[in-house]
Amino acid sequence: MRYCGFKYELKYEKGLRLRKRLPVVDDEDAIEALLDDVSSEPGTSAKIKASGDAPTSAPWFATGQLVHACQEWVLKGVLLGQNRPWQPVIDAALTLPHLFPNAAYDPKERTVDEASRLVDAYYGYHGIENGGFEHDWKIIASELLFQCDDYFSLPITCRADSIWQLDTGEIVVADTKTRAKDLPKDIDKWKRDASVNPQFLQLSWQARIHFNLDYYPSIFVDTISKSAIPKVKRVFVHIDPDDVSAWRDNHALTLAAHEAMLRVAPRGVMNYNNCSPPIGSRCEFFGYCHGKSDEARMLHHEFALKG
């Protein structure tokens, strides 16, 4: 298993505490509620607390969440038959200091400026009409939560950024990504790699169940690169039924192995190779497993579970 047993347990518990979505009302209170909701995503501030290092650029998680908040505001307006601008979300973010609890490490102006730069490039290229998507596409949902309770031994959930029906009648799942770099030139290889991404496989599988389809919907990957001049690119990733079956069977085996492990070691078995690897980021629960006091460990534990 790539991650440790204890991390898997926390991931599962954290997954059940998904952020609530409030009904959209076209006023300032609704924008503030949306931003509060996005900022409550578990694990963000914990990463700064655990490292103690001041980042040299706007943290990816804060920027990405604010970009998604802007898009969510626009797309929920499309669902209501409105043509909403995205700027009020950025303006509201600057007036809500509680969205930036780690201002010493993460100046809110830098995060907001970076998000504004990316969103401005995104809608500057795609336009605001129909939320920036093709004019003959019909939006079905924004921030749709999928949950399956009866296939695996544990519930499994995921959330789609948006769901669209094409002019052909086909349903697709759109997933917006902010990236450090533009998509590679060998896009066919990237698409094949992305087609076995477990996030995309689960989204397609859950969408098929939710909409009672006889096919696995493609993932419409909607990217924004954080380059000096932001680049936007969109790619259809087609999902092969055999890849979905392989992922689903493997996930069931992973859960069975995890449950068997917990019978032997109820606390879980730590994978030290994943605590602080030479390449990549340290585990987000480092502070819990390696805290030097019960107070420090519970601080990270409580934050990880409750956000």
Angle between helices 60-79 and 28-39 (to 10 degrees): 140
Question: 46-74 burial string, b = 16+ CB within 10 Å, else e?
Answer: bbbbbeeeebeebbbbbbbbbbbbbbbbb
Does 3.30.559.10 match the CATH number of domain 134-269? Answer: no
What are the helix (H) ranges across the chain? Answer: 5-16, 28-39, 44-51, 60-79, 87-94, 108-126, 187-194, 198-211, 241-264, 286-289, 294-306
pLDDT one-digit tens code per residue, 157-205: 899 999 999 999 999 999 999 998 899 999 999 999 999 999 999 999 9
Q: pLDDT tens-digit profile of 4-52?
A: 444 444 443 333 333 333 333 446 666 666 666 655 443 333 333 333 3
What residue spans define the domains of the chain?
134-269
pLDDT tens digits, one per residue of 134-166: 999 999 999 999 998 888 888 888 999 999 999
- What percent of the chain has a predicted confidence (pLDDT) above 90? 45
